[in-house]
Chain A
Amino acid sequence: MTEIWQGFIKAIELIVSLDPEVMEIAGRSLGISMTSCLLASLVCIPLASLIYFHNFPGKRVLINIIQTFFSLPTVCVGLFVFVLFSRAGPLGGTNLLFTPTVMVLGQMILITPILLGLIISALSGVDKAILDTAISLGASGFQVAAVVLREVRYAVLAAIIMGFGRAISEVGIALMVGGNIRGFTRVITTAISLETSKGELELSLALGMILIFLALVVNVTLNRVQQR
């Protein structure tokens, strides 16, 4: 018991003293997840609009599939990306396995359904009269999409924040395709899951507290945004 208590005190010390290793790991976590979130948004906002504003056979089915993938198991995405980039895999030649790049890619795949699904449902919530008004005032297809997206900007922002929360807290992908390489691909979640067993309790506790703090920030921001 005293051991845990001491670990806890030490963990707080690590955070307060801005321990270089703790800061480096936390910074990398933030960097990778923010990048994946940003890139996924750049793909998903136009893609969601494209799906929403066009009628094509199988649209309903596609949206159902997207919603099913909200809770995609992270290890499955990890496995998929691993196979893709492993030496014998179709993208093995790129030599990207166990790099931050491939972690970003994995997290993008993980949160894409969430972003797509939430943005499409936000767009569906827009009064059809808004669309008619824009069209009748002479907006082109692209201009209609832009003005409608602007109407739901806070819902889109909320979707992106949700995606970020999911990306930063996942461990399966980061571990399987990142490999927890110290100083290169080690992030908060992989460090906690692997260093604890090696007896590095204070490091894990410190990172755990930072992660919970980040989760709190995400939630508070989300609440703020959703209230607008």
Chain B
Amino acid sequence: MSLIEVVDLHQKYGERDILKNINIRVDRGEAFAVIGPTGAGKTTLLRLIDLLGLPTSGRIYFDGIDVTELRRMKLEVRRRMAFVLQKPVVFNTSVYNNIAYGLKWRGVRESSIRKKVSNILEMVDLLAYRKSNARTLSGGEVQRVAIARAIVNEPEVLLLDEPTANLDPISTSKIEELVANIIHRYDTTIIMATHDMSQGQRLADRIGVLINGEILQTGVPRDVFSSPLNREVAEFVGVENIIDGVIVSSQDKVVTIDIGSGVIEAISDYAVGEEVCACVRPEDIILALSRVSSSARNSFFGEITQVVSLGPLSRIEINCGFRLVALVTKRSAEELNLTRTKKVCATFKATGVHIVRRGR
């Protein structure tokens, strides 16, 4: 039995559907990330899970109990969870008091509170600030207070809403390290919302892609990243080459896709006539100055429109009638003298193409 189970959840504000048909199961000890673009409904979903609002329809189970509408039990269930809000706020009192509140509210003894708060303060590296008014802290410090304030209660479920939004890279990695630590040290179940695909990949065991109020795909980060189920997910997870087309022939799962300015060969189960997108990872594209004969099934001539240097790599944009992005090492780019307006041949294998269906 999953610790948290969300079944057919719908949320409407006025006439607008904010969440549609959400189904999620999160097991005890699992780290689950809800990723999606801004306005997708991540905060709304997390608030419903923390019982901070009533869904329009659908059910939420906590540890097997339907807690959607149980008024009496709300406090009890909520005390087994902790929620770090997207916009962290602190109470106008010392850092120590901020962190101690949850324990006081649960009637924990003073001596025990002192010990727990000190431990947590050390863990989030704020021991020196324990007497400062929390209002005087920086954004990153406030975020750490907010996380400390939540985990000091030893929740079974920790809900994190965009824990690193608006933070600089150093604070971000500090917070990520902290979250990774919590995952490691306690057997807390974590549900986090983030618009940062790579963060979800770094911290979560499993991710759910929430776009426009719908969970479009759930799975382990690697699978979602390498095999997005449809165009929207592919775009969101950062697949750079998404080429629209229609399957015109299929033979032993080798399909030919008409993309208007040519054809792409790929491996797919989809039938002839299906409207699809061909996704090609930039690192899977080979560039040459002339057509080379090889086993790769797809070759396109085009003109380089942009070269951007990314440390040891170069990101090269080519116009082959459609836009294609390739990633090569800087050294190759220099040896082949890949610059703007140069004509090149881009080659990729049929097995390097990931086919997703367009629309739903």
Query: Which listed residue, B52, B105, B146, touches A139 by the CB 8 Å rule?
Result: B105
CB contact under 8 A between A129 and B101, given known A136-B50, A137-B82: no
| Distance of B107 from chain A, by nearest CB (Å) | 10
Give the number of chain A interface residues (Cβ < 8 Å).
16
Contact of B28 with A by CB under 8 A: no
CB contact under 8 A between A130 and B85, given known A136-B50, A137-B153: no
Lowest 8 CB-CB distances: which A-B pairs, in order?
A: A136-B83, A138-B79, A137-B102, A129-B89, A139-B105, A143-B105, A138-B105, A151-B92
Contact of B150 with A by CB under 8 A: yes
Q: A140 touching B105 by the CB < 8 A rule?
A: yes
Chain A interface helix/strand/loop/mixed: helix
Q: A147 touching B101 by the CB < 8 A rule?
A: yes
A134 CA to B159 CA, complexed, in Å: 14
A132 CA to B83 CA, complexed, in Å: 9
Contact of B360 with A by CB under 8 A: no
Question: Number of contacts between A and B (CB, 8 Å)?
Answer: 54
Contact of A226 with B by CB under 8 A: no
Contact with A along B18-61 (1 / 0, CB 8 A): 00000000000000000000000000000100101000000000
CB-contacts of B75-101 with A (<8 A):
75, 78-79, 81-83, 85, 87-89, 91-93, 101
CB contact under 8 A between A138 and B153, given known A132-B85, A147-B101: yes
Query: Which listed residue, A129, A135, A137, A143, touches B149 by the CB 8 Å rule?
Result: A137
Contact of B185 with A by CB under 8 A: no
Chain A residues near B83: list those with CB within 8 A: 132, 136-137
Chain B residues near A129: list those with CB within 8 A: 85, 87, 89
User: Which chain A residue shows the least CB distance to B80?
Assistant: A138
Chain A residues near B150: list those with CB within 8 A: 137
A169 CA to B47 CA, complexed, in Å: 50
Chain B residues near A127: list those with CB within 8 A: 89
Q: A138 touching B85 by the CB < 8 A rule?
A: no
A132 CA to B89 CA, complexed, in Å: 10
Chain B residues near A138: list those with CB within 8 A: 75, 78-79, 82, 102, 105-106, 153
Contact of A68 with B by CB under 8 A: no
User: Which chain B residue shows the least CB distance to A148?
Assistant: B91
Give the number of chain B interface residues (Cβ < 8 Å).
25
Chain A residues near B87: list those with CB within 8 A: 129
CB-contacts of B97-129 with A (<8 A):
101-102, 105-106
* B interface, CB within 8 angstroms of A: 47, 50, 52, 75, 78-79, 81-83, 85, 87-89, 91-93, 101-102, 105-106, 146, 149-150, 153, 159
Most A CB within 10 A of own CB, among B75, B105, B146: B105
Q: B102 touching A140 by the CB < 8 A rule?
A: no
Q: B92 touching A135 by the CB < 8 A rule?
A: no
Chain A residues near B101: list those with CB within 8 A: 134, 137, 139, 147
User: Which chain B residue shows the least CB distance to A140?
Assistant: B75
Contact of A133 with B by CB under 8 A: yes
A27 CA to B87 CA, complexed, in Å: 51
A150 CA to B93 CA, complexed, in Å: 9
A140 CA to B105 CA, complexed, in Å: 8
User: Which chain B residue shows the least CB distance to A130?
Assistant: B89
Contact with B along A113-150 (1 / 0, CB 8 A): 00000000000000101101111111110010001001
Chain A residues near B153: list those with CB within 8 A: 137-138
Chain B residues near A150: list those with CB within 8 A: 91-93
A-B contact pairs, 22 of them (CB 8 A): A129-B87, A129-B89, A132-B85, A133-B85, A133-B89, A133-B91, A136-B50, A136-B78, A136-B83, A136-B159, A137-B101, A137-B102, A137-B149, A137-B150, A138-B79, A138-B102, A138-B106, A139-B101, A139-B105, A147-B101, A150-B92, A151-B92
Chain B residues near A130: list those with CB within 8 A: 89, 91
Chain B residues near A143: list those with CB within 8 A: 105
| Distance of B33 from chain A, by nearest CB (Å) | 19
CB contact under 8 A between A147 and B91, given known A137-B150, A137-B153, A139-B105: yes
A143 CA to B52 CA, complexed, in Å: 16
A136 CA to B160 CA, complexed, in Å: 12
Contact with B along A140-180 (1 / 0, CB 8 A): 10010001001100000000000000000000000000000
User: Which chain A residue shows the least CB distance to B89?
Assistant: A129
Q: B105 touching A132 by the CB < 8 A rule?
A: no
Chain B residues near A151: list those with CB within 8 A: 91-92
User: Which chain B residue shows the least CB distance to A136?
Assistant: B83
User: Which chain B residue shows the least CB distance to A137?
Assistant: B102
Chain A residues near B106: list those with CB within 8 A: 138
A133 CA to B50 CA, complexed, in Å: 11
Q: B52 touching A136 by the CB < 8 A rule?
A: yes
A134 CA to B47 CA, complexed, in Å: 13
Q: B79 touching A132 by the CB < 8 A rule?
A: no
| Distance of B25 from chain A, by nearest CB (Å) | 22
| Distance of B137 from chain A, by nearest CB (Å) | 15
Chain B residues near A133: list those with CB within 8 A: 85, 88-89, 91, 146
| Distance of A95 from chain B, by nearest CB (Å) | 48
A45 CA to B88 CA, complexed, in Å: 28
Other CB < 8 Å A-B pairs besides A127-B89, A133-B146, A136-B83, 8 of them?
Answer: A132-B47, A133-B85, A133-B88, A136-B82, A138-B153, A140-B105, A147-B91, A151-B92
